């Protein structure tokens, strides 16, 4: 994902700063991983990742190479705070436990 603070949101899903649960938007997700590709505070301002618990907030300040991996269900309500300046880059990785959604031949030539 590439999040820029100076671009307007085009769809509801672009409004990443709202508290959400990944399986509500992507029902096949079982686990979500975010591999951060640049540094909070150096390459961009804002854009921290926040877990929202009933009585506390846990904030992650992304660093290049950091992996944030969590279950995609209601126990991990979260948001990305608005990017205020710069560009935030992260690789989103989705894992599923639903065999009907599995990719069985990602590299078909390698299976031969």
Question: Side-chain half-sphere of 16: how many Cα atoms within 13 Å?
Answer: 18
Which runs of E-coded beta strand occur in the chain? 2-4, 31-36, 44-46, 49-52, 57-60, 67-71, 78-80, 83-95
Select from 105, 84, 112 the least CA-distant residue to 3: 84
Indicate which residue of 10, 42, 61, 88 is catalytic.
88
Query: Catalytic: 2?
Result: no
Q: Return the number of other C-beta atoms located less than 10 Å from residue 75's C-beta.
A: 10
User: What residues are labeled active site?
Assistant: 88
């Amino acid at each position: 994902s590439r999040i820029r603070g100076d671009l307007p949101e085009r769809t509801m899903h672009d409004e990443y700063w709202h508290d959400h649960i990944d399986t509500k938007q992507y029902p096949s997700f079982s686990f979500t991983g975010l591999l951060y590709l640049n540094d909070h505070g150096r390459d961009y301002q804002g854009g921290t990742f926040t877990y929202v618990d009933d009585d506390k907030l846990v904030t992650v300040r992304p660093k290049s190479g950091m992996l944030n991996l969590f279950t995609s269900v209601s126990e991990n309500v979260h948001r990305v705070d608005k990017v205020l300046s710069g560009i935030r880059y992260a690789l989103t990785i989705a894992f599923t436990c639903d065999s009907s959604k599995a990719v069985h031949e990602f590299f078909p030539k390698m299976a031969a």
